[in-house]
Structure 1
Amino acid sequence: MNYTKPLSDLQRSDINIAGGKGANLGALIHAQLPVPDGFVVLTSGYREFVAQNGLQEKIQDVLNMIQSDVPADLDRASEAIHSLFVSGKIPDELVSETLAAYASLGESTAVAVRSSATAEDLPDLSFAGQQDTYLNIVGKDALLQAIVNCWASLWTARAIGYRTRNHISHNDVTLAVVVQKMVQSEASGVLFTANPLTGKRNETVIDATLGLGEAMVSGQVDPDHYVVEMPSDRILTKTLGAKGLSIQGKDGGGTVSLQLPASDRQALPDAQIMELARLGQKAQSSFGSLQDMEWAWADGRLYVVQSRPITSLYPLPDNVQENPLEILFSFGVWQGMLDPYTPIGQDVFKYLIVGFARNFGEDTTPLEQRAVFTAGERIFVNITNLLKSPQGRTIVEIFTEAIDPESARVIGFLVKDKRFSRLESLSLTSRMSLLKVLIPLAGSAISNLISPAKGRARLEKKIDRVLDEVRLRCEGAHTLGELVRVFEQTTFFLPADIMPYLVGGIVGGQAPYQIMLRTFDFQGSQELMFNLTRGLPYNVTTQMDLKLWETARKIRSDAAAVQYFLSTDIKILVEQYHAGSLPVIIQQALVDFLSEYGIRGLAEIDLGRPRWREHPSNLFQALKSYLQVNPSAAPDILFEQGKEIAAEAQQKIVQVVRQQPGGFIKSKIVNGLIRRYRELGGLRETPKYFVVRLLSIYRYALLNFSEKLAAEGILEKADDVMFLHIRELKALAEGDRRDWKSCINERRNVYQRELRRTRIPRVMLTDGTAFYDAPTSIECDDPDTLIGTPVSAGVVEGKARVVFDPHGAQIFPGEILICPATDPAWTPLFLAAGGLVTEVGGMMTHGSVVAREYGIPAVVGVNQATSRLKTGQLVRVDGSGGTIMVME
């Protein structure tokens, strides 16, 4: 047989010939689940039909005439392609083989005909509902017509658009058709082996309606909703829906819709609910993944008619356990970088946490430690133990409130849960270990507060000395194995050496500000506190941005250079920069900037990500924006004006305090706090910049060795090494010659898949519960007003510019930058922006700090801002009140 195969002959690996649905049904049969008998018209049938009717070129011609992001174009393309299919002729051999398979099911048997695409029911993408299903088909002619309609449904508007958005080639997708005996259902529905709303992995959720499931799938009926706790086999909740419509099969083919109010009738009895939940667990065990299953119940028997992986849930780390339940906080929210991390980038923090744990007397390994986990290629920090003690809970509350108030609300909600509400006193051993760490930190912070300028100089000197030592050790490594040992030794012992200096610098700067922020409660105090942060000196990120402005000023001195830079495509500019062939004034200005800041870049906290010196495209985009900024609004001028505003704020605060009881002494204290904040507050960005500089030393030492591996053919290219773990680098250094290329290619594919993930949990529990926003997020009744956290005072109106990736973005002067989150590599865009709105962040995140220093009104923590606001909309950002109003 060339074109059909019985379902029972198919395996899970047959996706290329039977599509996802057909291959999965075959696997379910082999797992001994109750699947209705049937066969598959293989993808070879689709290809033969397309070839015999000359459809490939015609389809491409239609696609070439549309814009894939225009819904009307997609609809027109779909209609045109459908017409091509229905007017085509099925080859005779394909007809005869299909009808023979149909006859084997019984003469004139009623069947369900379902599309089964090769890019369907995959572990990482959900194509559910994109192709068509035809129920209760009876007779040869009706079957053949349904098959053609299924083939044509590969080209629905939704399917075309979905493939385009996910970078799946239309030419790589084909379609099989599943034909199964029709189950004339008394009840039917869907089952999820994890709760799709909360993410809990121990809850099976079942939706059920009367009759065929098409009414529920198409949204025409309110079904029953059952939640079952597994593996305890306990029904937790049952919510009966109206079930006001029932679709049933007619004699002779086709379906009929009946109005059948049944809100008081349970669609599926309790015994069958439990039996169905166990079938779901059996399918999950067989496939090795969470399952989204379609089922039917007829004549007292349950049937499985489809099962696919659940793709909507955020993945759990591999090595977590549900018992005891633990709380994981997103490191991406903390860093303002929501992208996935490369494997080597993940390892950096697992090694650093081992070094950090040694400060507390804990002896663990990067694989055994339970403080840092990876899920969805992103890093999550286990804060469970911190929340067990009153002191730790206070630290988490203060920290998360400053970083991301929405996360603070999530954690505040969780600690009221009885599973986490119990507080434990620290043991004597823990107290002693904590004191051993806190005493040098406190000593450093106090020393900085006593003599701020000397403290800042001491920190800078320490950083330079540590980096010089690491650089010398990396340069002295003669083999890859020696370099890996340098990395291990440094990450294990560095935290104890440098942490008192870094943390002492931050605390010395932020403690005065936080004291005043929590103490002042007079009219206008919040705005004065915001103004106090303007023009803050010694911030490495601000210094970088001002240096970039100076770079733009150098280019601006030559009108021809400005014209060339603005009119030349970014890709060409990058190529010419690397070739050293840009106009001299541009080339030299860029060389000067990148010689100092070329080690920075997007997602720079990830060792595996390229730096500006390698890929400066988003930097060049920012420069194009700078060249269009009115010189009278130059960032360096605004920065100096910010210093004056801060000085005025200081004067006003001191005046108000002086008028209070005991004002003379209080004003002296407040004046001292402000002076210390202004001297040390800019160090907020220093620890991260230190880490970035440290990682760049490792990165380029590692690339030096990997270039040799690429030349030997062990790797495809030098930066492939960033997709290996440290333990694998050790194996590679010791002569392990496994198929590294295939391993790296698979990981690159996973990384690209994760880049497409649009929502990342702020907080997760190890039972799978994911919190993307706080359960009690503040929203406004006005649909044109969005609510967030105010972090930089002022009100501005401007056109919104929604940006997900600054690599391809140019923001025009005065536009409001709307983005998911920002790390320092985004801040060059701030100098042209009129305002800032982000989905995550708090008072002390990178973007907030820099926005205040530039005097840009900013609101952060705005729920789904990038989807609720559109580029080109006129919006008003109130950085004092925390609102964004859509003006048009």
Structure 2
Amino acid sequence: MNRLLPDWPAILAAGAAEAGGKAWALARLARYGFPVPDAMALPVAAYHAWLDQSGLANDLHTAAALPDAERVAALEALRPSLLAQRPDDALLAALRQRLTMPPWRDAALAVRSSAPQEDGASASFAGIHASLLNVRGEAALADAIVAVWASLWTPAAVAYRVRLGIVHHDAAMAVLLMPLLPARASGIGFTCDPVSGRDDRLVIHANWGLGESLVAGATDGDEIMLAEQARDDSLALLSYVPGAKAVTSVPAPGGGTTLVPGGAERREPVLTPAQSLALGELLRQAALALDYGHPVYDCEWAWDGERFWLLQARPVTARGRCTYPELLGQPDIWTRGNTRDVVPDRLPPMDWGSWRRLANALLETGFCLTGFPMLPGAQRTGLFDGRLYLNLSLIQWEGYAAFDVAPAAMNRLVGGRQPEIHVPPRTVRERVVVGARMVRYLLRAGALRRQGAPAIAEAMRLARQWREQPLPADDAGFAAEIRRQACHRHAQAPLHFMQGSGGACLSLLVDLLDAHRPGEGHALASALLAGGEPSVTLRQGYALSEVARIAMADPLASAWLATRRPGDDWRGLPADNPFRVAFADFLALYGHRCVYETYLGNPRWREAPDYLLGSLPGLASADMAVATARQRQAADAAWAEARRALPWWKRPLLGRLVRTAKQETNDREAARSALMAYAEPARLLWLALGERWVERGWLAGADDVLFLMPAEALAVRDGLRPGAALPTLIADRRERFAAWQAQPPPDVILQHGDHDDAAALAETMIPLTAEGRVFQGVAVGSGVATGPARLIQRPDDGARLAQGDILVVPSTDPAWTLLFLKAGGLVMETGGFLSHGAIVAREFGIPAVVNLPGILQRLREGERLRVDGRHGTVSRLD
């Protein structure tokens, strides 16, 4: 393919392997409607033809393989011959013809390198290869092209490839040609803080005129720091530090004038505050379009006096690590142990945009009460192949530093099978400080927790009001309402605290019991928490069970359910029908929930009640008396054993811890329900906005809006992004989304740190199972149960579950609770002591074992299992 790539569509079709990383990234931005100058490219095939014609390939490869000292001399000796080799005449003729057409006619050119490995996620090649500006005339253009090709074989480029382990025979070069913009100002921008590593900061360097001095590091220019606001994803100007040199006017390429450093004119900021924010938003939008999961890019930009242009966008390959000093040198441990419960599948951009900040609010609130100095900008969630992970290293360290919770204990709460960080032993002074923090926490937590009930009531009231209010009249009204609701949700500290800080007393309870019954703390704690005041999730299950009883007792309703087809409307029954009245009451209380409710794309039960209606016949057979008796029996036996095990003077503490742990877990479920109530009107708003954009041809379906990050959708509304470019962006994301589905996600990912340390940490991870026919997990529910295994991947497949069967699942959320009413025992692939399945199993007094990754693939449907909730084992009996 030794031919010219004449425009961005051709460059995009050629791909990074032929057009190079730099050209391909800009081609994608052009496809998505970003302001990118016109371009054409000489493909990699043209380079290979030039190198083959030179006859120097073998000599270059031999020189590159020499030791360092000899390599430099050998490469320098070959360089004159390499530079003397002209491009192919046919290629120059194609260029000559193209340069007679607008916008190329009489334009000065930028001739830039675009190697296939350049501007990649693992290597940037920044400053390694040649780029030349203000190139005019055919002879100068031919020299510039050769200079770019030859820059692949400079000592610096070869040494860079050696360091990265890139085979020299794989080295190649495309050349990107662009008209030189009449830049009044230009610079570089990072969609992160490259020094601190924070991804909620943007750093822009701006200089007058062309930006080669800035890119080359000869000047810093003005430095602008922008902050991403967690409450509504907007940008704010944090600081503006002048640094650009004075400027003077000189003739610009193509006519007119431009500003360049070095004159005697009055010094002034390169960008106004408004321009800084506009540029920052453009850079952020470009990074999100290229990779919404890791939008950390280094971009070159220019301003021509009227608009900003993007000239390059490459992933930031080296930045500071935003972590605690004690964790430097240790890997970041990313885990799905807890997130699989809440978000087991891939996250569309809209959901990731919400979780990226919400998870920080949930996890930080409790620590902030202690006065513990939280790390500014720490990001505790990450997206890998579309799945949500938690940074367990941060969580383990914060638990240890603030509350003296050992990493192993934090792992038990979080769930999953992952390694532990190394922590230093406590000094006496540090123990005193931690003690003071715990006292401060206890004094403050009660007050914040007491705000929980009013906050939940307010959530239910406001969610209903927002759900029932008229939709905004125009896009501006939609944007204002979306931002208003987002700001309100962000301010719900009591709900964040209740949802994210529910494990302190539970951990203390387990430790207390373990001290007197080694290895049995989990099981005893689970049994002690059985029964009592039911959580909102259990009340939801009990309420639907009562609806089922009413339905089956009513001939009209039971006949309708027996013949019902998906989509049939229950409101077609008479208004005074007992089942219709009871079901309407149930939806009024719990209609904001659904199967895997944390995904905005899933319709709420109020919208689509088919799952509930299909569950009613089977649920009517659930024996509530058996469940209640099981709870009471488990709790009574556990109390008797705990009293025997503990000395008399610890028994009052036991009672206090049980009551508080029960309240904390109930609060956790209640807060989740309230947050989901807020999510319902947000879903309706976004989908209604999507419907408007379908009418304009911007989207194929209303749910396409969920394949935009919130900041992207709002930027379209604000006129910062063209709506007409959305179909191509969303089509590319849907294709990537489908590819992620075929990639089995690892449970743990290790990043950074010393490789030997990472390997040692991996070796400390708990093995999946014991030898033989017994699987060892974590006990979270009391007692022992025996029964046939029912391997169920989704709750709507739960009709196969009979009373007393062993429920074997990947993870659970509140929609699974209906199956707990019939299950004799629970086996779960993921989860810890704070997972939803553990909480509900404890309440029901069901024998339960969690944290058994891969168990669904190892068991057979219907085989008999023994679930020992006391010792955390699952035994195959057949």
* Partner of residue 544, structure 1: 540
Q: How far 1:541 sits from its partner (Å)?
A: 1.2
- TM normalised by structure 2 equals 0.56
SS at match of 1:547: helix
* Partner of residue 844, structure 1: 834
- TM normalised by structure 1 equals 0.56
Q: How far 1:482 sits from its partner (Å)?
A: 0.7
Indicate if the aligned counterparts of 2:812 and 2:836 stay in contact, CA closer than 8 A.
yes
The sequence identity of aligned pairs, in percent, is: 21
Q: Output one character per residue of 1:182-212: Cα deviation in whole Å (capped at 9) or x when no partner.
A: xxxxxxxxxxx9xxxxxx979xxxxxxxxxx
SS at match of 1:829: helix
2-structure distance, mates of 1:824, 1:874? 26
Q: Output one character per residue of 1:525-575: Cα deviation in whole Å (capped at 9) or x when no partner.
A: 66443321211424111111111211221122136754653565xxx2333
* Partner of residue 861, structure 1: 851
What is the correspondence of 1:146-225 to structure 2 with a 5 Å cutoff? Answer: none
Q: Indicate how the Cα distance of structure 1 residues 522 and 804 shifts in structure 2: closer, same or farther if over 3 A, else same.
A: closer
Is the counterpart of residue 743 in structure 1 residue 743 in structure 2? no
Is the counterpart of residue 725 in structure 1 residue 709 in structure 2? yes
Indicate if the aligned counterparts of 2:456 and 2:671 stay in contact, CA closer than 8 A.
no
Q: Indicate how the Cα distance of structure 1 residues 284 and 490 shifts in structure 2: closer, same or farther if over 3 A, else same.
A: farther
* Partner of residue 607, structure 2: 614
Is the counterpart of residue 377 in structure 1 residue 386 in structure 2? yes
Is the counterpart of residue 870 in structure 1 residue 860 in structure 2? yes
Indicate the RMSD between aligned Cα atoms, in angstroms.
5.3
What is the correspondence of 1:761-840 to structure 2 with a 5 Å cutoff? Answer: 761-765=747-751, 776-780=765-769, 782-813=771-802, 814-840=804-830
Which of 334, 339, 348 aligns to 2:339? It is: 334
2-structure distance, mates of 1:724, 1:315? 9
What is the correspondence of 1:281-296 to structure 2 with a 5 Å cutoff? Answer: none
Indicate if the aligned counterparts of 2:807 and 2:826 stay in contact, CA closer than 8 A.
yes
Q: How far 1:864 sits from its partner (Å)?
A: 0.9
2-structure distance, mates of 1:707, 1:18? 35
Indicate if the aligned counterparts of 2:372 and 2:437 stay in contact, CA closer than 8 A.
no
* Partner of residue 482, structure 1: 480
Q: Output one character per residue of 1:160-193: Cα deviation in whole Å (capped at 9) or x when no partner.
A: xxxxxxxxxxxxxxxxxxxxxxxxxxxxxxxxx9
Q: How far 1:815 sits from its partner (Å)?
A: 2.8
| Paired amino acid for 2:604 | R
SS at match of 2:867: strand
Which runs of no fewer than 5 residues in structure 2 stay unpaired? Answer: 21-41, 53-116, 124-158, 177-290, 297-315, 322-330
Indicate if the aligned counterparts of 1:354 and 1:364 stay in contact, CA closer than 8 A.
no
Q: Indicate how the Cα distance of structure 1 residues 27 and 819 shifts in structure 2: closer, same or farther if over 3 A, else same.
A: farther
Is the counterpart of residue 513 in structure 1 residue 519 in structure 2? no
* Partner of residue 558, structure 1: 554
SS at match of 1:573: coil
| Paired amino acid for 1:375 | F
SS at match of 1:346: helix
Q: Output one character per residue of 1:622-671: Cα deviation in whole Å (capped at 9) or x when no partner.
A: 434324x3x5xx135413541354245324423543xx4xx2x3333333
Q: Output one character per residue of 1:481-540: Cα deviation in whole Å (capped at 9) or x when no partner.
A: 212321442244333x65456667x36763663453343327976644332121142411
1-structure distance, mates of 2:359, 2:737? 23
SS at match of 1:531: helix
2-structure distance, mates of 1:768, 1:9? 45
Indicate if the aligned counterparts of 2:788 and 2:805 stay in contact, CA closer than 8 A.
yes
| Paired amino acid for 2:442 | A
Q: How far 1:315 sits from its partner (Å)?
A: 12
| Paired amino acid for 2:854 | Q
* Partner of residue 207, structure 2: none
Is the counterpart of residue 598 in structure 1 residue 591 in structure 2? yes
Q: Indicate how the Cα distance of structure 1 residues 354 and 864 shifts in structure 2: closer, same or farther if over 3 A, else same.
A: closer
Q: Indicate how the Cα distance of structure 1 residues 523 and 480 shifts in structure 2: closer, same or farther if over 3 A, else same.
A: closer
What is the correspondence of 1:264-663 to structure 2 with a 5 Å cutoff? Answer: 277-279=167-169, 317-319=294-296, 327-330=332-335, 333-334=338-339, 336=341, 337-352=343-358, 370-385=379-394, 391=401, 394-395=404-405, 397=407, 400-407=410-417, 410-412=418-420, 415-416=421-422, 441-446=441-446, 458-465=451-458, 468=461, 475=469, 478=472, 479-495=477-493, 498-499=495-496, 506=502, 510=506, 513-521=509-517, 527-558=523-554, 561-562=557-558, 565=561, 568=564, 572-577=565-570, 587-627=580-620, 629=621, 634-635=623-624, 637-639=626-628, 641-657=630-646, 660=647, 663=648
1-structure distance, mates of 2:788, 2:575? 33
**Structure 1 stretch displaced more, 352-361 or 749-758:** 352-361
**Structure 1 stretch displaced more, 789-798 or 836-845:** 789-798
Q: How far 1:612 sits from its partner (Å)?
A: 2.1
| Paired amino acid for 1:372 | T
Indicate if the aligned counterparts of 2:397 and 2:407 stay in contact, CA closer than 8 A.
no
Which runs of no fewer than 5 residues in structure 1 stay unpaired? Answer: 1-5, 37-192, 194-199, 203-229, 236-273, 287-313, 449-454
Q: Indicate how the Cα distance of structure 1 residues 509 and 636 shifts in structure 2: closer, same or farther if over 3 A, else same.
A: farther
Indicate if the aligned counterparts of 2:499 and 2:668 stay in contact, CA closer than 8 A.
no
Indicate if the aligned counterparts of 1:784 and 1:885 stay in contact, CA closer than 8 A.
yes
Q: Output one character per residue of 1:454-481: Cα deviation in whole Å (capped at 9) or x when no partner.
A: x66x521232235545766785984112
2-structure distance, mates of 1:803, 1:33? 58
Indicate if the aligned counterparts of 1:858 and 1:878 stay in contact, CA closer than 8 A.
yes
Q: Output one character per residue of 1:358-409: Cα deviation in whole Å (capped at 9) or x when no partner.
A: 97999999xx8744332222233345555667516955726642334544xx
Indicate if the aligned counterparts of 1:470 and 1:490 stay in contact, CA closer than 8 A.
no
Q: Indicate how the Cα distance of structure 1 residues 524 and 375 shifts in structure 2: closer, same or farther if over 3 A, else same.
A: closer
Q: Output one character per residue of 1:715-738: Cα deviation in whole Å (capped at 9) or x when no partner.
A: 444333222212122223225433
Q: Output one character per residue of 1:32-77: Cα deviation in whole Å (capped at 9) or x when no partner.
A: 49999xxxxxxxxxxxxxxxxxxxxxxxxxxxxxxxxxxxxxxxxx
* Partner of residue 740, structure 2: 754
| Paired amino acid for 1:550 | E
Q: Indicate how the Cα distance of structure 1 residues 488 and 779 shifts in structure 2: closer, same or farther if over 3 A, else same.
A: closer
SS at match of 2:525: helix
Q: Output one character per residue of 1:821-869: Cα deviation in whole Å (capped at 9) or x when no partner.
A: 2122222222222222222112221101211222322221113112112
Which of 636, 650, 674 aligns to 1:666? It is: 650
Q: Indicate how the Cα distance of structure 1 residues 808 and 332 shifts in structure 2: closer, same or farther if over 3 A, else same.
A: same
SS at match of 1:862: coil
Q: How far 1:885 sits from its partner (Å)?
A: 2.6
Q: Indicate how the Cα distance of structure 1 residues 20 and 522 shifts in structure 2: closer, same or farther if over 3 A, else same.
A: closer
Indicate if the aligned counterparts of 1:477 and 1:483 stay in contact, CA closer than 8 A.
no
SS at match of 1:575: coil
2-structure distance, mates of 1:498, 1:31? 60
Q: Indicate how the Cα distance of structure 1 residues 823 and 400 shifts in structure 2: closer, same or farther if over 3 A, else same.
A: farther
SS at match of 1:833: coil
Indicate if the aligned counterparts of 2:788 and 2:806 stay in contact, CA closer than 8 A.
yes
2-structure distance, mates of 1:856, 1:667? 25
| Paired amino acid for 2:413 | I
2-structure distance, mates of 1:696, 1:739? 28
